[in-house]
Structure 1
Amino acid sequence: MTRRRLILIRHAKAEAGAVDLERPLTSRGVSDAAAAGLLLARAGVVPDRAVLSPARRARQTWDGVQAGLAEPVEAVIDERVYDNHVAALLQVIADVEVNVDAVVGCLVLVGHNPSFAELAITLDDGQGDQQARQRLRVGYPTSGVAIFELTGGWDELAPESATLLGFDIGRGAA
């Protein structure tokens, strides 16, 4: 069976604003996004692809995360991530290898709550890191990073079909 990794990153701390899509990261958010990238690097995560919400704060979060990774990662914007519904996120994941010539072994999604927390809890098969599960159930704060492992294809992802390997929060010095 093919083992895959799914990384769910909630965007970093953003400014308030009248136009939600255009809200930028705060200085703390910029620092936290970079810290989230270092979390992935320390965990040995090597993403093949990233799918981002079109929101400015999600794109800026990915820029900060990617700065901590060893190699650049192809990122695509998908409106469905901004829709903030678990069903939409599952479809984004199922579609990840459509029109792509390479196998995606490690996928990163960067988006929003409440859908990221709901998706993480829904996917958890109960077999992974118990401390990570407890932290996840307390809340999914900005710069939260959940790392899952699954077997099979992306289009086979279903409730309770992924093992939670870790849940951490990127916090920088700012």
Structure 2
Amino acid sequence: MELILWRHAEAEEGAPDLGRPLTPKGVKQAKRMAAWLRARLPEGARVMASPATRAQQTAAALTERFETVPALAPGASPQAVLTAAGWPDGGGLVVVVGHQPTLGQVAAWLLTGQDAQWSIKKGALWWLRLRRRNGGAEVQVRAVIGPDWVDD
């Protein structure tokens, strides 16, 4: 199984929190990262997004065919994200468009087995893969990239 943790792009400040849209810079970030992803995603990749407007807009830059998952809303637990994604036995590739600090906590737990507060930059993603071999399993990092490293 592969899992992409994609933090929503830059959003406007204000309230209500769930209704905050992307800034013009955030729209560019989302489009830039979506183009990078689109060129690399296999057919049939599943895309899930938080119900927050900023996550919905980020996911929509990649595809119109994404699933809104309430369990990915701001404040979600790392376990809720992993359960929603079907980790580790769901198979295939799942893109999760969500929020900090949850996505950083998920990355930390998957890579170290420890609770930790790791930061994922706005619009950036972590691409992880579960590799099973010799009766064991390990999580590998395939890519960590932010929108400032991707060409327009």
Instruction: Give TM-score scaled by structure 1 length.
Output: 0.71
> Which ranges in structure 2 are unaligned for 5 or more consecutive residues?
none
Q: Residue 94 of structure 1 aligns to which amino acid in structure 2?
A: G
Task: State the Cα distance separating 1:96 from its structure 2 match.
Answer: 10
Q: Aligned pair count? A: 141
Aligned to 1:112: 99
Task: State the Cα distance separating 1:41 from its structure 2 match.
Answer: 3.3
**Misfit runs of 4+, over 2 Å:** 94-97, 171-174
Aligned 8 A contact 2:131 2:140 in 1: no
| Cα shift readout 1:93-131 (whole Å, capped 9, x = no counterpart) | 22899xxxxx851110000000101101211269xxxxx
Structure 2: distance between partners of 1:151 and 1:94: 15
Aligned 8 A contact 2:2 2:91 in 1: no
User: Which SS does the other structure have where 1:24 is aligned?
Assistant: coil
What does 1:1-174 align with in structure 2 at a 5 Å threshold? 4-42=1-39, 44-46=40-42, 48-66=45-63, 74-82=65-73, 83-94=75-86, 105-124=92-111, 139-151=119-131, 161-171=138-148
Structure 2: distance between partners of 1:51 and 1:96: 16
Instruction: Give TM-score scaled by structure 2 length.
Output: 0.80
CA RMSD after TM alignment: 2.8
Structure 2: distance between partners of 1:95 and 1:125: 16
Give percent identity, aligned residues only.
28
